[in-house]
Amino acid sequence: MAEAILEVRGLHKHYPLTRGILFKKQVGAVRAVDGVDFDLAAGETLGIVGESGCGKSTVAKMLVNLERPTSGEIRYKGEDISKLSPRALKAVRRNIQMVFQDPYTSLNPRMTVGDIIGEPYEIHPEVAPKGDRRRKVQDLLDVVGLNPEYINRYPHQFSGGQRQRIGIARGLALQPEIIVADEPVSALDVSVQAQVVNLLGNLQTEFSLSYVFIAHDLSIVRHISDRVGVMYLGRIVEIGTDAEIYEHPTHPYTQALLSAVPVPDPEARAHRERIILTGDVPSPADIPSGCRFRTRCWKAQERCTLEVPELAVPAVFRLTESPAKHDSACHFAEEKQVVPPEDDGEEPPSP
């Protein structure tokens, strides 16, 4: 793997639960993120998948410093950004930008597109001197596939897909190295999703960006990611390359998640085994002891209540050369194929 541009170690975010008005007493904590580690290499895309409430968006917010971690480190080129002085932080922030989920609420309705995309230059004037800004913004519009003449329009004059392009242009304005995208296409129509996913792919090559791509849609994550981390209740339970995770998952949660994805192919439905989990995700304020997935896991045994499984290569695979040899936080990890391997069957018809 290339050199890591971002290293996340032991990241926690706990929100205190308090009781009382005058004399606030902490009675517990919502452990939204509860020990997350990963590396992001320059130029790669790390996908993070998980269901609602698993903490993936909180991780995103901490990466761009919109939330301060309770503990843990986020090292950008070796420097922990959660402990920088405000001045040093400002410089680092330029290099880590975010694209938000909802293109309807993340753009100020009273600002023109030109002002929205150009606003980052107010904070970092060194990137574009004043006289140069309008041209820069027009270039950005062009880069994301919008007509540069639209610079004076307002967000309501655009469709959802176009607005997301505006959000992406704003993210690119400061020429960052890392873009954290939190569910960037989930609010869009199917036919428009593909356009935006392709755009993100092209921009990555053009500007050699690294992406942290957060989504709940496993198919899109596979499409765009080099490596994928699966989160459950505030922790990464399995992480590896896309083929390792999708074709050789070893954690039961990943297997269940993958098997539950509806595949747009009625023929495939016959030969797929579905693992349907029972129950709901436990509350992050009351996380089960030991393995946090055990309450919904069909393999759970006594050891799972007592011992927290570490995110590491499981002992059974340590000496093998199999693709199942990747980090998985399960005491009883075993490989199970739930997604048929690639190039199995005919190619889809081309347009």
Partner 1 sequence: MLLEVRDLHVEFHTRDGVAKAVNGVDYSVNAGETLAVLGESGSGKSVTAQAVMGILDIPPGKITQGEILFQGQDLLKLKEEERRKIRGAKMAMVFQDALSSLNPVVSVGDQLGEMFQVHKGMSRKDSRAKAVELMDRVRIPAAKERVGQYPHQFSGGMRQRIMIAMALALEPELIIADEPTTALDVTVQAQVMDLLAELQRELNMGLILITHDLGVVADVADKIAVMYAGRIVERAPVHEIYKAPAHPYTKGLLESIPRLDQKGQELYAIKGLPPNLLAIPPGCAFNPRCPLARDRCRTDVPPLYDVTESPVKRASACHFWKECLHG
Residues that bind partner 1 (CB under 8 A): 51-52, 159, 161-162, 189-195, 197-198, 201, 216, 218-220, 222-224, 242-243, 246, 256-258, 260-269, 274, 276-278, 280-281, 339-344, 348-351
Give the DSSP H or E segment for 154.
Answer: none
Q: How far is the CB of 216 from partner 1 (least distance, A)?
A: 7
Nearest to 176 by CA among 120, 225, 112, 111: 120
CA dist., res. 204 & res. 334, Å (int): 35
| Residue 66 neighbours by CB distance under 10 Å | 11
Q: How far is the CB of 141 from partner 1 (least distance, A)?
A: 16
Closest CB to partner 1 among residues 74, 237: 237
Q: How far is the CB of 89 from partner 1 (least distance, A)?
A: 34
Nearest to 212 by CA among 194, 224, 223: 224
Closest CB to partner 1 among residues 208, 219: 219
CA dist., res. 56 & res. 213, Å (int): 10
Q: How far is the CB of 336 from partner 1 (least distance, A)?
A: 15
Q: How far is the CB of 322 from partner 1 (least distance, A)?
A: 19
Q: Residues 290, 297, 231, CA angle at the centre, nearest 5°? A: 70
Could you please report the per-residue DSSP string of 317-340?
Answer: GTT--STT-SEE--TT------SP
Closest CB to partner 1 among residues 46, 174: 46
Hunting for tokens 């036919």 — which residue is that? 191
Contacts of residue 270, Cβ cutoff 8 Å, sequence gap at least 6: none
Closest CB to partner 1 among residues 42, 275: 275
CA-based end-to-end distance of the chain:
36
Closest CB to partner 1 among residues 22, 190: 190
The β-bridge relationship of strands 25-41 and 4-19 is antiparallel
Closest CB to partner 1 among residues 3, 344: 344
Q: How far is the CB of 285 from partner 1 (least distance, A)?
A: 14
